[in-house]
A and B are shown apart, each in its own frame.
Chain A
């Protein structure tokens, strides 16, 4: 749908047909394009789950468009401690989500668009989808040097990654989703995706870092809206359907029955952190206590996000043995989580001997332990 520039300015790009949810069920043709009205990462991931579980993709494939407010999304089998700076995320109120597809960690904000291609398991074909995106980009800006790599990335100018891919396959249906960097905050991106945690050993899928660039930097006339529009146009052409986007609300329980439960599940600690494959932490705390520095070796095994084994190598009698044992016993089985640990250790302090020296040592040790989480 090519519009006159003046018309574009008056109406904005929302003049691309967007229909309310009534059309969701009745659109004819072999494919459907839907866009989320929400920028909540959990709601949007829940929509993916819902479509994957409940829609019949035999008759109709689906392209789902979505964007999120700042969030870090890790792959199904990844370790958030290894992948990002959790402390910074908490400080900046950036959400952390674990998606159900594989692959690596990405940073989302409103300058990044997400595309999900839903097909039956048999029609799962990532290369085709990415070629579609590249074709759309080139149709919009023929001079753009973009191409698909054999790692299913899209690179700009042979060097910068502008899109990453991940996929989920179920029994009968599958989806392939990818990002597209339009105008994301690269500064925040690089700082949150750098993990400060040392001494982690795990078999979780590692991310492969890459230099990134926004399409906006390449061509400042590009906006997310334009890119979405171009991609939808290409998709519509290839699937021989109308250039028509159906808006959906991920909180609409009547349209998507069961969606709110899916959203809730994605937010639970058990899913986000508890699904981390078993890992171990082996590090050394450098504690400054009364003009001396103590090197304290710490070894912990974490399974399902909970501390399975905990060893802290303290100088003898630095803490009374009974107290040390109480600390270790309480930490065992507890979540590898700073909040949980803080409330745990401060509550324990109530039933310890009331001695200022002892309390300051306890607090020092615990604060250092909490920094590991």
Chain B
């Protein structure tokens, strides 16, 4: 008796039990035309050779280009198995069965033949029959509603496992929105449907449903004469999260960051923070912005911060130095190549503006524009990203006030700039006025820099920014 006849019987389960006594193992001969149930308690099922079906246009052979599965993987019906190509047509081959892949008959770039076996799939006998046709049609059962559904004139596509789940939970497949290919209903869709009904996240396997006993107060009957409180206690179901952890190797750029940050950790950091009143600078920038725009450059606050830092470094060159590996020598770098931390898709990259000590504020702004557009296009070159001597990180554009920046070796100092906030402050006359306040957090290498130096540098930098006119005096 082959599978086709099975469909005319009343119930699949019924058939299984019926055949237990009729057949014994030795009588079962494997044939790819017929699929018979192995009814023993052994867990492995039938191996079926899934053949490459007709592609159309008279094509007899194709090239296997990609496998979506490997031997040992479980597949459901309609899952993609592989991608083959024939004469400019790419074809996705999907599985006809639920089961486990036991053998791939071809490797990548092999020629596969229509009508010949593509993969061997071990069908789990207990999971039920998959028919020859593409649409699963289980025979009408007493639970008609649950299996043989039609939505908008289409047969509902769902694997037998999903149908069983629906039936066990008394769900009409027609009420479930399918999110799989061709609107196929997936197991997740049933679970989501159920979750919506009960307002809870259900355990993945319906059999594991445990309804804990109701709290005692509910079980005590409220006698009419009692003033018993009738607080409805929600029935709690065990909340199970069915997400999976995802492990990925650390590669490429991330690996390099790991090395850099591990090296940075070896530097004894100390921090120094302060508050800068940028009221005057804000006004100055407003005046200069249109001038820069006419020249085709976007002017932010950074060019001012960078130039002021460079002026400060002229007075405190130790902050623009580098300590060698053995802490034997300190090299005072002549160029002020000030790095600007940039947040990109990949993560933190730090291109630097070269020789700030000989650049005007406008030059710096122009160079920043160039670096920013290259950075967002992912086209920064090696020279843009190497040779930095000092770094500023404008984390304030994203948010935050104070930070604890990490020094980027081989540098010895770094500054993190918080966001500019409008806050009330007292002026010289004791009056409250609106001030534009920004916080700065410096970190420095305590092996070569002491607190006093950092504080004096910060004060100088602060004074340039709070009184932008004073920058004019010291500009080179």
Contacts and interface: CB of A to CB of B under 8 A. Distances in A.
A141 B87 CA distance: 31
Given A335-B252, A343-B253, A344-B256, A351 B90 contact: no
Nearest to B383: A363
A367 B90 contact: no
Contacts of A349: 386
Interface residues of B, number: 51
Nearest to A258: B179
Contacts of A359: 386
A224 B109 CA distance: 39
Contact of B251 (A100, A165, A170, A334): A334
B260 A350 contact: yes
A213 interface: no
A343 B154 CA distance: 52
A342 B408 contact: no
Interface of B is mostly: mixed
A146 to B, nearest CB: 19
Nearest to A346: B385
Nearest to B388: A350
A333 B466 CA distance: 49
A290 interface: no
A84 B95 CA distance: 35
Interface stretch (A101-109, A132-140, A245-253, A292-300): A101-109
B386 A363 contact: yes
A145 interface: no
Interface in A334-357: 334-335, 338-351, 353-354
Given A346-B386, A351-B409, A172 B91 contact: no
Interface in B256-303: 256-257, 259-260, 263
B177 to A, nearest CB: 10
Highest count of chain A CB atoms <10 Å: which of B86, B88, B249, B252? B88
A335 B345 CA distance: 14
A90 B252 contact: no
A124 B109 contact: no
Contacts of A330: 252, 255-256
A342 B351 CA distance: 11
A351 B154 contact: no
B381 interface: yes
Contacts of A54: 182-183
Contacts of A333: 249, 251-252, 255
B378 to A, nearest CB: 4
Interface of A: 53-54, 56, 75-77, 90, 93, 100-104, 121-122, 124-126, 152, 165-172, 174, 203, 205, 275, 277-278, 306, 330, 333-335, 338-351, 353-354, 359, 363, 366-367, 370
Interface of B: 55-57, 65-66, 78, 83, 85-92, 94, 108-109, 134, 154, 181-183, 249, 251-253, 255-257, 259-260, 263, 322, 324-325, 331, 346, 349, 377-383, 385-386, 408-410
28 contacts: A76-B83, A77-B66, A90-B379, A93-B377, A100-B90, A101-B88, A102-B87, A103-B90, A121-B56, A125-B57, A165-B88, A168-B92, A170-B91, A170-B94, A205-B85, A277-B109, A333-B249, A333-B252, A334-B251, A335-B251, A340-B252, A340-B253, A349-B386, A350-B260, A353-B325, A354-B324, A359-B386, A367-B382
Given A103-B88, A171-B78, 11 more contacts: A53-B181, A56-B154, A77-B90, A102-B86, A102-B89, A152-B88, A344-B252, A347-B256, A347-B257, A348-B256, A351-B260
